[in-house]
Amino acid sequence: MTATALQRTLTHELAQFEGQTVKLQGFLHARRDLGGVQFLVLRDVSGIAQCVGSGLELPLSESSVEVVGSVKAHPKAPGGFEVQVESFRVISAATAPTPVEIPKMEWNVNPETMLDYRVVSVRGLKERAALKVQAELVAAFRDHLMTEGFTEISTPKIVSAGAEGGANLFPIDYFGQPAYLAQSPQLYKQIMVGVFERVFEVAPVYRAEEHATSRHLNEYLSLDVEMGFIEDEEDVMALENRLLAAIMTRLSARCETEFALLGATIPDVPVHIPRITLMDARELVGDKYAHPVGGKDLDPEAERLLCQHYAETEGSDFVFVTKYPRAARPFYAHPDEGDLTRGFDLLFRGIEITSGGQRIHDHAMLMDSIAAYKLNPETLTGYTEVFKYGMPPHGGFAIGAERLTAKLLGISNVRYARAFPRDRHRLTP
Ligand code: AMO
């Protein structure tokens, strides 16, 4: 059979072809010349394969290449098989050496350099593993919500007013009119509850965070959910609980290699994720860990300690923090007794990955809240109007996809959980 008549085999399928001739196509991941004998590692979408040949003229690393050869068991080769090269072809030659050695890259070895050269460094096995896990996570998010009757929506990313308050809006010039990049689909996803009752969106959102931290991006992927006809925020937390369980089930089934490569473990999602009120949480980290509690929210160290407590005492990597005060939540949060709201956060392995809660659905209550937050009601009419038309009690949440991905995989900075991160100092590539 001629090489071109052979079907392409993927590197992860080699075991099925022992003793047979296969055609592999991929990138020249690594190469070694031992005087006449050449070893090359070919990388394709499914993994890597070691190939050995002689008299080959190997191109620069990362060239796309084709190998035709026979598959032999070889315990020391990745995956336990090696391909003995019968013919070798360069499909598209690299014309310059890569600025970083892809197979030798490690996390945190000069991370800025790795991000500078992201167009090619992102091909690294660990780098792409993070993005692959995120892709599966997003697919599981969609699949699970659809089984629960949710409909996917797509809302504007160019908006006339902020949804979340605060100063972190990116202003843009919209044909001479002031506008902003959307901080969140919040107001639109609520409006769409009036259409589909249960909705979700997977889309980037924009936050003009001034500070470069390991948990903040200026553009991140927001996994948003909103559902109508709820009793209270408990229904929303229960939904997120089921959703996370479904996500972890899919990751266990489809991302074993990626988790192994990164030395990470998939968490067990408790049937009932523990809950603690913000007030009790502050007391707990104060009493148990002598961590001073100031401010209206938990600081990053308090989040870490609270997670440590639940990991140690209940074996849970997750904890819901509930009953946030109004001062810590946006105007749309549904009030609860005292000056509290029905808002919650979900912490996972030491960091907040979700905010959510029940929202105000009563028009008069909403207008009062807008006044109490000293917002200009005129800028919000496109949103507040809908509450004149029978909006049901509703609530939802948003998961920061990069934070969840990073914490799942033990990646220290959310920037590596995004293909092309936008941070305080980075607009390219
Ligand atoms: P919030 O502003 O808390 O809530 O954001 C929700 C989740 O998004 C993630 N996140 C970020 N990730 C990376 N970089 C950032 N700068 C960043 N900011 C937030 C976090 C956070 O928990 N509308 C509400 C959600 C809702 O109530 O439905 C909202 O946007 O994981």
398 close to ligand 1 (CB < 6 Angstrom): yes
pLDDT at 211: 83
Residues 65 and 176 in one domain: no
198, 207, 326, 349: which is the annotated catalytic residue? Answer: 207
User: Which CATH number is 62's domain given?
Assistant: 2.40.50.140
Nearest CA to ligand 1 atom 19: 400
Residues 17 and 127 in one domain: no
124 close to ligand 1 (CB < 6 Angstrom): no
- The DSSP secondary structure of 201-214, one letter per residue, reads EEEEEE----S--S
Residues 241 and 279 in one domain: yes
Q: Which of 92, 111, 129 is the last residue of a domain?
A: 92
User: Which CATH number is 392's domain given?
Assistant: 3.30.930.10
Residues 285 and 243 in one domain: yes
| CA 391–ligand 1 middle distance (angstroms) | 24
| CA 224–ligand 1 middle distance (angstroms) | 9
Q: Which of 76, 92, 108 is the last residue of a domain?
A: 92
Contacts 24+ apart (CB under 8 A), 376-385: 379/160, 379/161, 380/161, 380/187, 382/160, 382/187, 383/187, 383/190, 383/191
Domain housing 154: 119-417
Q: What is the pLDDT along the chain (429 residues), one digit of tens a residue?
A: 555 589 999 999 999 999 999 999 999 999 999 888 999 999 999 999 999 999 999 999 999 999 999 999 999 999 999 999 999 999 999 999 999 888 887 655 677 888 999 999 999 999 999 999 999 999 999 999 999 999 999 999 999 988 887 779 999 999 999 999 999 999 999 999 999 999 999 999 999 998 888 999 999 999 999 999 999 999 999 999 999 999 999 999 999 999 999 999 999 999 999 999 999 999 999 999 999 887 788 999 999 999 999 999 999 999 999 999 999 999 999 999 999 999 999 999 999 999 999 999 999 999 999 999 999 999 999 999 999 999 999 999 999 999 999 999 999 999 999 999 999 889 999
Report the Cα 123 to chain-centroid distance in Å.
18
Beta bridge partners of 66: 25, 89
43, 215, 282, 334: which is the annotated catalytic residue? Answer: 215
pTM beyond cutoff 0.85: yes
Residues 263 and 376 in one domain: yes
| CA 148–ligand 1 middle distance (angstroms) | 23
Closest residue by Cα to residue 345 from 312, 296, 309, 392: 296
216 close to ligand 1 (CB < 6 Angstrom): yes
Strand 343-348: give its sheet, edge to edge. 151-152, 198-206, 219-228, 394-400, 351-358, 343-348, 318-322, 275-277
pLDDT at 111: 78
Q: Which of 92, 110, 138 is the last residue of a domain?
A: 92
Q: Is residue 57 annotated as part of the catalytic site, yes or no?
A: no
Residues 83 and 170 in one domain: no
210 is in an annotated binding site: no
Please, are residues 259 and 266 in contact by the beta-carbon 8 Å criterion?
yes
- What sign does the dihedral 338-323-233-396 (CA atoms) show? positive
Q: Would you say residue 111 lies in a domain?
A: no
| CA 132–ligand 1 middle distance (angstroms) | 22
Using DSSP's 3-state secondary structure scheme, residue 158 falls into strand
Q: Would you say residue 128 lies in a domain?
A: yes
Nearest ligand 1 atom to the CA of 345 is 22
354 close to ligand 1 (CB < 6 Angstrom): yes
414 close to ligand 1 (CB < 6 Angstrom): yes
Q: Is residue 118 annotated as part of the catalytic site, yes or no?
A: no
Q: Would you say residue 124 lies in a domain?
A: yes
Residues 124 and 22 in one domain: no
Nearest ligand 1 atom to the CA of 217 is 14
Residues 199 and 246 in one domain: yes
Residues 84 and 192 in one domain: no
| CA 300–ligand 1 middle distance (angstroms) | 14
- The DSSP secondary structure of 273-291, one letter per residue, reads --EEEHHHHHHHHHHHH--
**What is the DSSP code (8-state) at residue 335?**
B
Q: Is residue 342 annotated as part of the catalytic site, yes or no?
A: no
How many domains, the chain? 2
Residues 198 and 281 in one domain: yes
Q: How far apart are CA 72 and CA 80, in angstroms?
A: 9
- Helix residue ranges, H only, 11-124: 111-116, 118-121
Residues 311 and 380 in one domain: yes
Length of the chain: 429
